[in-house]
């Protein structure tokens, strides 16, 4: 069946599952008579190493949420399985598309390549493709001279409203079209321990943050358990576009004007700026998906040790703070910044494994996987940028400081639940008498540390400090500073 309307555009949803402040949707509704909202669960992307069903459950929840919001319009999203070009091909054959709209995506190599193919297809089929900016990220920039001005101008622009006009293709017409495609099953198996997706949930989390949780943001930001409540938890909503950064920043400004001014609010606002800063870096140097931005570190030799990697992934390294964080991540999809940095530091320093060997596993676990933050952060934590202070986290010290009574650690490692607080972060210090007393045997109930953490820390530190003097590392550091930092940054060793 061919629908006899001559002006039908597709809004292709990728990581922008919202109806408010949505540039592509707004433009499509302004410019066309009828709109199809399309999501394609791409088989190729689903199989990619950094993807996981956890992300797809979040996407499905987001689609279900949008479908609820679309009920008054008698509309819903065409959510199908397959690949984008064949889907567009079929839609075009049925409906003669007059436009394609989407957001500009700073994704992985696979999505960038796909977008190039889509552009080619659009040209060949005379379907204009308009991409709208949803992040403060600018394509084609050579350096950061103008970045902050452009970012600020975008963030200060007025937000785009919830659709005012019903331009959506009706449910009845869409159901007929849908028969030509493999529908995406929108049922999810997501655990209640994982944050739920969707635009309305995103606003709920944002409200609860500004209505109270923010007050302890600064005090608890590094605590593995308390940070879960007092950090905003907006990251998956930003990563999958349930919220735009502009919405969050403008809300923050409005709350500050209402009197909510504090050190915590300032710290929160800086982090909102870091989001685009990191993504811009990745946009400008996307080879960071595969190799360290600083070419001086490509000579670093690290042999893959599958036993180490397996123990780290399973939370069985024998180092409680690391194991608790890893098990928590696998169950819940979230860790606060410090714990993310700590588990990566342990992997790349104490276990001396290449960051590339933990990248996919972590990305699958993190509900908020955002390539533009993930890859630069991994390299920063690995000490392979040459422009950041080398930080090798001490898991025992961090445990004692940030989980002093061991409640987080014991929750995720029940094997340690009977140990007294002073042994939770150093179970290897248990005496034979205490083993009897607590019914715990190191090596049986819980592993002995798989490495000597202090010795490995020193070895990694010595080697990496030495490398910072390498001429290529130094030359690359200068290049990175001039390309990726604001002109006023002078030092090449600041954090």
Ligand X SMILES: Cc1cc2nc3c(=O)[nH]c(=O)nc-3n(C[C@H](O)[C@H](O)[C@H](O)COP(=O)(O)OP(=O)(O)OC[C@H]3O[C@@H](n4cnc5c(N)ncnc54)[C@H](O)[C@@H]3O)c2cc1C
Residues that bind ligand X (CB under 6 A): 231-235, 238-239, 268, 271-272, 274-275, 278, 336-337, 340-341, 344, 366, 368-370, 373-374, 377-378, 381
User: Which residue lies nearer to ligand X by CB, 66 or 239?
Assistant: 239
Whole-angstrom distance between the N-terminal and C-terminal Cα of the chain?
60
- In this structure, the strands spanning 34-42 and 78-82 are parallel
Helix (H, G, I), strand (E, B) or coil at 40: strand
Q: Rounded to the nearest whole angstrom, what is the least distance from the CB of residue 106 to ligand X in the complex? A: 12
User: Which residue lies nearer to ligand X by CB, 340 or 456?
Assistant: 340
The alpha carbon of residue 440 and the mean position of all alpha carbons in its chain are separated, in whole angstroms, by: 38
User: Which residue lies nearer to ligand X by CB, 57 or 370?
Assistant: 370
Q: Rounded to the nearest whole angstrom, what is the least distance from the CB of residue 334 to ligand X in the complex? A: 7
User: Which residue lies nearer to ligand X by CB, 170 or 222?
Assistant: 222
330 close to 434: Cβ distance less than 8 angstroms: no
- In this structure, the strands spanning 78-82 and 97-103 are unpaired
Q: Rounded to the nearest whole angstrom, what is the least distance from the CB of residue 238 to ligand X in the complex? A: 5
Q: Rounded to the nearest whole angstrom, what is the least distance from the CB of residue 70 to ligand X in the complex? A: 26
Q: Rounded to the nearest whole angstrom, what is the least distance from the CB of residue 333 to ligand X in the complex? A: 11
Token pair belonging to 252? 């923050």
Q: Does the CA dihedral 460-466-468-473 come out positive or negative?
A: negative
Q: Which of 444, 398, 450, 387 has the alpha carbon at shortest distance from 424? A: 398
User: Which residue lies nearer to ligand X by CB, 36 or 288?
Assistant: 288
Q: Rounded to the nearest whole angstrom, what is the least distance from the CB of residue 218 to ligand X in the complex? A: 10
The alpha carbon of residue 219 and the mean position of all alpha carbons in its chain are separated, in whole angstroms, by: 23
User: Which residue lies nearer to ligand X by CB, 36 or 380?
Assistant: 380
Could you count the other beta carbons within 10 Å of the beta carbon of residue 357?
Answer: 18
Token pair belonging to 394? 């001490």
User: Which residue lies nearer to ligand X by CB, 13 or 231?
Assistant: 231
| φ/ψ of residue 318, rounded to 5 | 85, 5
The H-or-E segment that residue 332 falls in is helix 320-332
- In this structure, the strands spanning 129-132 and 182-183 are unpaired
Q: Rounded to the nearest whole angstrom, what is the least distance from the CB of residue 49 to ligand X in the complex? A: 15
> From CA 18, how far away is CA 275, in angstroms rounded?
19
Q: Rounded to the nearest whole angstrom, what is the least distance from the CB of residue 367 to ligand X in the complex? A: 9
């Amino acid at each position: 069946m061919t629908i006899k309307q001559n002006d039908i555009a597709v809004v292709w949803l990728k990581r922008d599952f919202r109806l408010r402040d949505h540039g592509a949707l707004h433009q499509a509704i302004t410019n066309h008579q009828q709109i199809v909202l399309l999501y394609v669960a791409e088989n190729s992307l689903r199989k990619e190493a950094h993807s996981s069903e956890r992300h797809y459950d979040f996407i499905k929840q987001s689609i279900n949420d949008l479908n609820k919001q679309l009920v008054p319009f008698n509309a819903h999203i065409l959510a199908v399985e397959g690949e984008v070009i064949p889907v567009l091909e079929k839609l075009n054959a049925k409906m003669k598309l007059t436009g394609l709209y989407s957001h500009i995506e700073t994704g992985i190599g696979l999505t960038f390549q796909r977008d190039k193919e889509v552009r080619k297809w659009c040209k060949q089929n005379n379907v204009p493709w308009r991409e709208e900016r949803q992040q403060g990220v600018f394509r084609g920039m050579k350096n950061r001279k103008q970045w902050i001005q452009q970012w600020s101008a975008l963030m200060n622009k007025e937000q785009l409203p919830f659709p005012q006009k019903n331009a959506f293709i009706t449910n009845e017409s869409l159901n007929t079209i849908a028969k030509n495609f493999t529908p995406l099953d929108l049922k999810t198996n997501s655990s209640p321990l994982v944050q739920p997706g969707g635009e309305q949930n995103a606003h709920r989390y944002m409200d609860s943050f500004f209505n109270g949780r923010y007050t302890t943001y600064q005090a608890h930001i590094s605590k593995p358990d308390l940070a879960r409540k007092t950090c905003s938890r907006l990251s998956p909503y930003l990563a999958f576009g349930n919220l735009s950064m502009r919405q969050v920043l403008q809300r923050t400004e409005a709350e500050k004007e209402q009197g909510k001014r504090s050190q915590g609010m300032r710290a929160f606002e800086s982090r909102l700026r870091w989001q685009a800063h990191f993504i811009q870096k990745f946009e400008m140097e996307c080879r960071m998906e595969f190799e360290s931005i600083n070419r001086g570190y490509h000579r670093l030799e690290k042999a893959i040790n599958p036993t180490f990697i397996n123990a780290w992934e399973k939370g069985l390294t024998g180092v409680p703070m690391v194991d608790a964080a890893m098990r928590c991540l696998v169950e819940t999809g979230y860790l606060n910044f410090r714990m993310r940095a700590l588990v990566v530091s342990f992997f790349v320093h104490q276990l001396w494994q290449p960051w590339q060997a933990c990248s996919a596993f972590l990305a699958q676990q993190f509900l908020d996987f955002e390539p533009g933050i993930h890859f630069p952060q991994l390299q920063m934590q690995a000490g392979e940028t040459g422009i950041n202070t080398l930080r090798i986290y001490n898991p025992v010290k961090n445990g004692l400081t940030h989980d002093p009574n061991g409640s987080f650690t014991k929750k995720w490692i029940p094997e340690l639940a009977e140990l007294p607080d002073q042994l939770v972060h150093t179970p290897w210090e248990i005496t034979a008498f205490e083993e009897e007393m607590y019914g715990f045997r190191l090596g049986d109930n819980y592993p002995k540390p798989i490495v000597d953490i202090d010795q490995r820390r020193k070895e990694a530190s010595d080697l990496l400090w030495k490398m910072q003097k390498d001429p290529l590392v130094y030359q690359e550091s200068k290049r990175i500073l001039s390309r990726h930092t604001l002109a006023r940054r002078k030092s090449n060793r600041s954090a």
